[in-house]
Structure 1
Amino acid sequence: MKIISVFGTRPEAVKMAPVVAELRKHKSVESKVLVTAQHRDMLDQVLDVFDIKPDYDLDVMQDNQTPTDVAAEVLKHIQPILRQEQPDWILVQGDTTTVLAASLAAFYSRVKVGHVEAGLRTHDRYNPFPEEINRVLADQLSDLHFAPTETSKKALLREGIEAKRVHVTGNTVIDALKFIVAQPFNGSLPHYPADKKLILITAHRRENFGEPFADMLRAMKNLADRDDTHLIYPVHPNPNVKNAAHAVLGKHPHVTLLPPMDYFAFAHLMGKAHLILTDSGGIQEEAPGLGVPVLVMRHVTERPEAVEAGTAKLVGTDTKVITDEAAKLLDDPAAHAKMAKAVNPFGDGHSAERIVKILLDHKE
């Protein structure tokens, strides 16, 4: 059986790495890796951490690229590779434009698609943009759906996906996180005063560009103005994020702005945070595994399980709401403990094993 794993961004690579590692264990599988490098530098960090050497690198990243640019480049370059390799399966992960374009190219080539992290939904086609439509369409193109939770399975069944093609596996990000935190960390982490509560920030979503992002930055400044906090914000390289963040927070003495961190260091830094402010999807899954409360700066989430379990809370993009909700977790130990001790609903660290076993059971 020949399987090509396709991914293009750091979050995809983190979540696909355990699957690639599991595939390597099986002599009956010819496993290859194709990266689109939709996000070049951030992807390379993860490839190094997990010792993944791509067989194909499309290197599609351009400055100020649009989803259309990415989709066009991936479709154009992946088709000849599929024609040459004739794989039995391609595996895609999540909801990036790489996922949609690779799934479509595989469909055109009559190659079966396995979708890791299938079935996540906000039911708002523009939020997140373009990820919601990317994953809906990718699921329609997929032959096997590896849903992380029962909630995501139910979403797929409601959309008419056959039950026999949907498998609840847990989320592979827990596998990746367990691997990372088990490794000794000998590197250096960003310095912050030991007597301050660390607030870790990630914020970069396209649908928040403009005034919503400005509101989020104002909330971050409010929190940095406190005497008991220090904010660390690894800033996404997109100019819409980088320029705005540096304009508002760049000279604040209680804020450290950094380039994107490698995943190894970032995972260890997450474990030291008092709370995390994010508009990311993956961190809603990762931080609860480390006992860190998450405030999600979005109005909807495709991970309602985190909110229902009490490990994450939606706070939107309003400056006052973000500031007030973060203040509760800084000032009220009981409120903080309630979120920190809630049970992570996203898996047990054996998701990749389940996914590969299911694939091996589908030899045809």
Structure 2
Amino acid sequence: MPVSARPKVLVVFGTRPEAIKLFPVIRALEEVGGIRTVTCVTAQHRGLLDQVLGIAGLTPDIDLDLMEPGQSLDRLTARLLVGLGEVIDRVAPDRVVVQGDTATAMVGALAAYYRKIPVAHVEAGLRSGDIHHPWPEEVNRRIVAPIADLHFAPTETAAAALARESVTDGVHVTGNTVIDALHWTRGRIAREPALAAGLDDLAQRFAGRRIVLVTTHRRENFGDGMASIARGIARIAARDDVAVLFPMHPNPNVGAVMDRLLGEADNVARIAPLDYPHFIRALGMCDLALTDSGGVQEEAPALGKPVLVMRDTTERPEGVVAGTARLIGTDEDRIVSEVFTLLDDKAAHSAMARAHNPFGDGMASTRIARIVADGFGL
């Protein structure tokens, strides 16, 4: 493809998970040499995004700041398309890089396609097989696939999913960049313990108890599912030997239900969302993770922590196959039973904790940057 003397790569992202998984890629692209990297954030998650940018030492070149309270998906999508289109016109990149399954990723790819600019998709090929779970992320990923010409699949399973959709050219199995981010962050914490010292009091308060780390925010779990999760957490927390560490997602569909059904249990720490170093420390502190998040399914196994996934499907089946994760849905009784099994059965816990992590070796970003550079003949 025709490029300028110094090729320009526009990296577009807007949420905390995207920032976590892209900051190692941005660093790797800058280290390659010969590429000008331009970063654009949409601020789809404002506060949570800024936390990661601060830790990673990244200052975006362009900040669209598009987040609005209670913004509908269609309004967000429309504003993203106009805003990112204007950015691409102004920057005139030789390639656009997007990550994952967000509205920002989907629209960033679409805006680039409208201008016939090549797109690289980091974390390509994840599929649950159900367009409503996760919603709308499953469809977002499927939209990006036929647009992109470089597909950085984290696993062979993801590459095979692309092949089933007749996407075979430009597919590279790289590992998941979240493992790169985790290793980098753990190294910083080891050198600078103050980065995660905000959990010192909780670590002391919960000393001697089995810690269950909970994260929940999925749209498909809003309503009855979230209520069932809340009741399950309350029953888990009723055990004297258990403490629940619960960084609360800012979406009111989560907080309002937890306020109503969970209340202020003594051994449930409902705390503000954690920045990335504190979250990595929280994973290290816990006995197991109870989550509906995608990223936690990848991060927890890297630290030997079993993951119970409060969903009926996952676009990360590798963890289930490897034995690091188990799909348990949102039924209250099932949640309680599965958590208690891991707390009370050492063999069951050990089997999941020692299972092979299928998501990478911490070198994914280096591989991605090298492939992008090779495409420019660098």
Normalised by the length of structure 2, the TM-score is 0.95
Aligned counterpart, 2:22: 16
| 1:164 CA drift (Å) | 2.9
Normalised by the length of structure 1, the TM-score is 0.98
Q: Deviations over 1:272-301 (max 9, x none)?
A: 100110000000000000011100000000
Q: Structure 2: how far apart are the matches of 1:321 and 1:194?
A: 27
| 1:109 CA drift (Å) | 1.3
Q: Could you say what the CA RMSD is over the residues aligned between the two structures, in angstroms? A: 0.9
- 2:300 is the counterpart of 1:294: no
Q: Structure 2: how far apart are the matches of 1:100 and 1:121?
A: 15
Aligned counterpart, 1:55: 61
**Conserved? CA contact 2:8–2:37, under 8 Å:** yes
Q: Structure 1: how far apart are the matches of 2:262 and 2:75?
A: 31
One-letter code of the match for 1:295? L
The one of 335, 342, 367 equivalent to 1:329 is: 342
The one of 103, 106, 115 equivalent to 1:97 is: 103
Q: Structure 1: how far apart are the matches of 2:353 and 2:72?
A: 37
Q: Which runs of 5+ in 1 are unaligned?
A: none
**Conserved? CA contact 2:32–2:370, under 8 Å:** no
| 1:26 CA drift (Å) | 2.6
One-letter code of the match for 1:237? P
The one of 44, 48, 53 equivalent to 2:50 is: 44
Shift >3 Å, 4+ stretches: none
The one of 215, 226, 239 equivalent to 1:202 is: 215
Q: Percent identity?
A: 48
Aligned counterpart, 2:4: none
Q: Which runs of 5+ in 2 are unaligned?
A: 1-6
Aligned counterpart, 1:129: 135
| 1:120 CA drift (Å) | 0.3
Q: Deviations over 1:196-255 (max 9, x none)?
A: 111000000001100011011111111000111000111111111111112222311110
**Conserved? CA contact 1:250–1:257, under 8 Å:** no
Aligned counterpart, 1:148: 154
Aligned counterpart, 1:174: 179
Q: Structure 2: how far apart are the matches of 1:249 and 1:113?
A: 44
- 2:294 is the counterpart of 1:281: yes
**Conserved? CA contact 2:97–2:120, under 8 Å:** yes
Q: Structure 1: how far apart are the matches of 2:367 and 2:23?
A: 14
**Conserved? CA contact 1:235–1:245, under 8 Å:** no
- The DSSP-based 3-state class of the residue aligned with 1:327 is helix
- 2:357 is the counterpart of 1:347: no
One-letter code of the match for 1:349? G
- 2:261 is the counterpart of 1:248: yes
- The DSSP-based 3-state class of the residue aligned with 2:169 is helix
- The DSSP-based 3-state class of the residue aligned with 2:28 is helix
